[in-house]
Homo-oligomer: A and B are copies of this chain.
Amino acid sequence: MVRTLSHEAREKMLEAAAGVVREVGVAGFTVDEVARRSGVAKTTIYRHFPDPKQMLVASLDRVLVPPPVPDTGSLSGDLLAYLTSVRPLFVSDQLRTLFFEIYAAAMRDPELREMQRALIAGRAGPTMAIYENARARGELAPDIDYPTLVENVQGPLISRSMSRPSALTDAGIAAMADRMLVALTSR
């Protein structure tokens, strides 16, 4: 007589939760609102997620789609492909804002921080393959410092998204990729 919690109800509440967190952010994320939107009873939600933070993280996991690891054969191509794939996240006001809210929330709450460590790691890790591949091809110096590379790619992207997200066009991204390539290889 073993019955598991229904996937149906779980899907409905997670779907609604994803919408809530996108629209009102981490601070405005409430169980009541998820219940209202999903049509799932609040009590049922608590049966699935005794701690609302778990549901928050689970919903974030749906919203933040991990980017595919590009493998075009060149660092130039991989960079452009990477920027293109993550662009939607940074162009969208909702998603970009959510991105920073998550970071801030994790900084404030150790519990959340731990829950999201895996979530972040699972997304950042594969991206590192871009640089490892480039190094294997000889496009990057063997003694290259990965964290520095990352911040020279993510940095300008984040910065631009904050101040003028509308500049994240095809052409804008291509120009960024070119500039990054120069910065990464000129040494």
Chain A stretch 149-187: residues in CB contact (< 8 A) with chain B: 150-152, 154-160, 162-164, 167, 179, 182-183, 186
A156-B151, A183-B183 in contact; A97/B101 too (CB < 8 A)?
A: no
A156-B152, A159-B150 in contact; A104/B100 too (CB < 8 A)?
A: yes
Tell me, yes or no, whether A103 is within 8 Å of chain B by CB: yes
**A residues in contact (CB < 8 Å) with B:** 24-28, 93, 96-98, 100-101, 103-104, 107-108, 147-148, 150-152, 154-160, 162-164, 167, 179, 182-183, 186
Q: Which 6 A-B pairs have the closest CB atoms?
A: A155-B155, A155-B159, A151-B159, A155-B156, A27-B27, A97-B107
Known: A155-B157, A158-B159. 10 other contacts (CB 8 A): A96-B107, A97-B107, A100-B101, A104-B104, A151-B160, A151-B163, A152-B179, A155-B155, A155-B160, A158-B158
